[in-house]
Structures are given as C-alpha cells and as structure tokens.
Amino acid sequence: MFKIWSEKNNEAKTMLSPNLDLRNWDDLSREEKEKIWNFLKHWFNRKNDPRVLFSIIQLNELHKSRSYARLTLEDLSASNAFADFKNIFFEQTQHVALELFSCFCQAILDERKNENGRIYRHDYVSDEEFLERITGWRFQDFDKFTARLNDIFEQFSVNLFLTRDGFIERQDSRIITEIYVPVINFLSLPKWSDVNRELSDAFKEYQVKTDQGYSNCVTHAVSSLQAFLQISVDGKIGGSEGINTLIKNAREKSLIPVDKFTEEIFKNIDTILMRERGKTGSAHPKQEYANEKSARLVLNVVIIFLQHCIQK
C-alpha cells in the first residue's frame, strides 16, 4: 500500500507534525482555535442548525445565573444562537467551551433518542444482538463527530478525549483506543446504565483535580465494577456480596473468563481495590485522601478488568 512521505520518514513526521506537550483548551491561541473551528465547521458552521440552537438553549437553561448565550437570551433565534455559539467557542474558558461541546453532543444524541431507524430485524437475531445494533445506530452520528474531534484534539495536543460517556483525560493513545473506548461503548447499552452512571461519576470526579475529587473517583470506580458484577450475576444491582464473591459466582457461571492466566488477577483484585477504597475512598471515613496517581491507577485497573470480561 502506498505510503506518504511522513509515514516512511520519522524525521519528516516530527518536523511536519511536532509533538507538543499536552495542554488544555485555555492554552490554545486564537489562531489555533480558528484552525479547529475550520476543521469542525462542517458540524456546526450553519446558521440554521437545530443542534446549535438546542446547545445554546440548554447551556442557558443549565446555567441561568451566568446565561453565557446573552444574545439568544434576549432574542431567541437561530442566528443569535449561532453568534453565541461562535463567541463561546473563541472567547470563553475551557469549562464553558467543553460544556457547550457536551450540549452539542447531547443534541446529536437526542435526534435519534426515541427512534429505531430503518433497521430490519431478522427472526434469527437475538434481543441482545438487535439492541446492540439499535444502540450503534443511535450513536452513529455522535461517533462520527467524536472521531473527528478526537483526531483534531490529538493533533493540537489537547489533553481531552471524547467518549460516549463524555470527556475524559487523554492517556496513551493505545490505552484509550484499545481499552477505554471499547469498554465505554459496551456500557452504553441500556442494560449497563447503572454501571455507566458510576463510571461517568468517577471520570467527572477525577477531573475536579482535588484530593476530595480523587477520593470520590476511587469510590465511584470501585462501585462501577461492583455494579457490573452484580448485574452479570444477579441481573440487577444490590446485595451485600463483595467483589471476590461476585467474581467467584460469575466465573462459576462462565459469565467472565475462567482461563488460568487471569485466575490470580481475579483472586487479588478485590483485595487491592477494597484496600484502596477503604484507605482513600469517600464511602467510609478515609485514612488519607487519594491523589491523582492512585485515582488513575484504580480507574485503569477497573477499566482493564471490565475490558477483559467483555472481550469476545
């Protein structure tokens, strides 16, 4: 297969696309934001786009005291919404800009929220397989936007990665694409909504960047794993069994892998996570606060465990 020059020459690749230190939205220059806008304009550079209008209305509704979209607040129209959208994109801080991006993503998802699309169901297709196809269809446009935004953010070294569960902090690209994304996409099925909620809260608390936030992250991450095992074994959340007992029951029912390679991992994961949650989590009086390193470790352990359980 033909390869362009930079694919064959590392020196050229480094010169043409230098690796920058990871940074947040606020570190981007006006010129860089203008480039990003132009790369994304296919998605929201249309003055009558209902997604833009929905995003601006939702942003104002969520933050009434601030009312970031002032023009739309005073006169609700598509043209004012577009002007507010563009102003927030270029002038507001990262938290406001990412809130707007999130509202835009919600607008994309809501377009197919209560529809099944033109997906024909054959008699031999199981309920689970059909639900996976419906979920994939509902996320189709969102996944396209996600792929575009993440490619742009990576090239501009923005330290964020968009998933079906919202924004998370960027890690090594292989960890994100081969582990995090498949797990989060899998958990977007309705069956796993309770797991997804806990994991989403874990990501949100991690990004607070405080000792309390990291401790809350640990608690929610461990709870997400416990909820996953409870639903796998019992079909619902609840019950008093610890993670070790749930793992044992899940393995006996062949609901999670039973190969020898993972036996020791499954045997010790409960001890590791319960010790960390007991020491730094917020569900009980903590011995000490978690820090970024320990919170990230717990998140990665939980995600890798889930990834191993769901892979086929």
DSSP per residue, the chain: ----HHHH-HHHHHHHSPPPPPB-GGGS-HHHHHHHHHHHHHHH--TT-HHHHHHHHHHHHHTTTT-S-HHHHHS--HHHHHHHHHHHHHHS-HHHHHHHHHHHHHHHHHTTTT--TT----TTS-HHHHHHHHHHHHTHHHHHHHHHHHHHHHHTTBSEEEETTEEEE---HHHIIIIIHHHHHHTTSGGGHHHHHHHHHHHHHHTT-SHHHHHHHHHHHHHHHHHHHHHHHHSSS--S--HHHHHHHHHHTTSS---GGGHHHHHHHHHHHHHHHHHH-SSS--SS---HHHHHHHHHHHHHHHHHHH--
For the chain, give the mean pLDDT.
84
Say what the pLDDT of residue 92 is.
Answer: 96
Closest to 170 (Cα-Cα) out of 183, 182, 187, 153: 153
Q: What is the pLDDT of residues 20-49, one digit of tens each?
A: 568 999 999 999 999 999 999 889 876 678
pLDDT, greater one: 12 or 84 = 84
Chain centroid to Cα 14, Å, comes to 29
User: Is residue 284 over pLDDT 60?
Assistant: no
Section 56-65 average pLDDT: 96
Say what the pLDDT of residue 137 is.
Answer: 87
pLDDT, greater one: 63 or 22 = 63
Q: How far apart are CA 153 and CA 159, in angstroms?
A: 8
Give me the helix-helix angle, 292-310 and 193-206, nearest 10°: 160
Q: What is the pLDDT of residues 134-156, one digit of tens each?
A: 888 889 999 999 999 999 999 99
Section 103-113 average pLDDT: 91
pLDDT, greater one: 59 or 287 = 59
Say what the pLDDT of residue 49 is.
Answer: 86
Closest to 92 (Cα-Cα) out of 73, 67, 117, 125: 67
Q: How confident is the model at residue 207 (pLDDT cuts 50, 70, 90)?
A: confident
pLDDT, greater one: 69 or 45 = 69
24 contact partners, CB below 8 Å, separation of at least 6: 94, 158, 159, 160
Beta-ladder partners of 156: none
Residue 108 near residue 44 (C-beta atoms within 8 A): no
User: Is residue 65 over pLDDT 80?
Assistant: yes
Say what the pLDDT of residue 240 is.
Answer: 72
Residue indicated by tokens 């609901």:
255
pLDDT, greater one: 243 or 13 = 243
User: Is residue 208 over pLDDT 90?
Assistant: no
Q: How confident is the model at residue 57 (pLDDT cuts 50, 70, 90)?
A: very high
Instruction: Tell me how far CA of residue 37 lies from CA of 92, 108, 235, 236, in angstroms.
Output: 14, 18, 45, 44
Q: How confident is the model at residue 270 (pLDDT cuts 50, 70, 90)?
A: low
Q: What is the pLDDT of residues 73-105, one digit of tens each?
A: 999 999 999 999 999 999 999 999 999 999 999
Residue 277 near residue 243 (C-beta atoms within 8 A): no
Say what the pLDDT of residue 102 is.
Answer: 95
